[in-house]
């Protein structure tokens, strides 16, 4: 069952590069976001890749390439995958699920929770991650 919203983190895209690909355009993106996650001040620094599928939609993954840091110095790993689309105003949006594998100690209660997300990037490279728990 989908739980209440666990939090919203915001920040910026910090880098992009084009990756070689035989199956359509593929871009690697790095971002840094921070905010409240389940009552804990949290920062995530992550790198994901996304590719344009033949129908123009997007598919992306962050395969264990996110560092999750809590306000007490705890660290963990973020992993996620999702589908998305270009927004028409120069941005893009993704919907998917992510996991803390392992979570920082302050977020240990999320170890068995799928984190359903909305990832939105604006044309100015500002980004927002909204998260809900799913058990």
Domain 2-134 in this protein, CATH class: mainly beta
Nearest to 90 by CA among 127, 124, 56, 47: 124
What does the pLDDT look like over 112-125, one tens digit per residue? 999 999 999 999 99
Query: What parts of the chain have a pLDDT lower than 50?
Result: none
Considering the entire predicted model, what is its pTM?
A: 0.95
Q: Are 47 and 17 in contact, with CB atoms under 8 Å apart? A: no
């Amino acid at each position: 069952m989908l739980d209440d919203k666990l939090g919203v983190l915001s920040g910026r895209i910090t880098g992009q590069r084009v990756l070689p690909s035989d199956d359509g355009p593929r871009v690697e993106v790095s971002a840094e976001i921070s905010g409240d996650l389940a009552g804990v001040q949290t920062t995530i620094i992550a790198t994901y890749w996304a590719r344009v599928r033949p129908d123009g939609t997007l598919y992306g993954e962050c395969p264990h390439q996110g560092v999750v840091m809590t306000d007490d110095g705890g660290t963990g790993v973020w992993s996620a995958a999702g589908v998305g689309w270009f927004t028409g105003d120069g941005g893009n949006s993704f919907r998917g699920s992510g996991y803390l594998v392992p979570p920082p100690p302050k977020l240990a209660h999320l170890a068995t929770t799928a984190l359903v997300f909305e990832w939105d990037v604006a044309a100015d490279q500002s980004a927002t991650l909204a998260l809900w728990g799913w058990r």
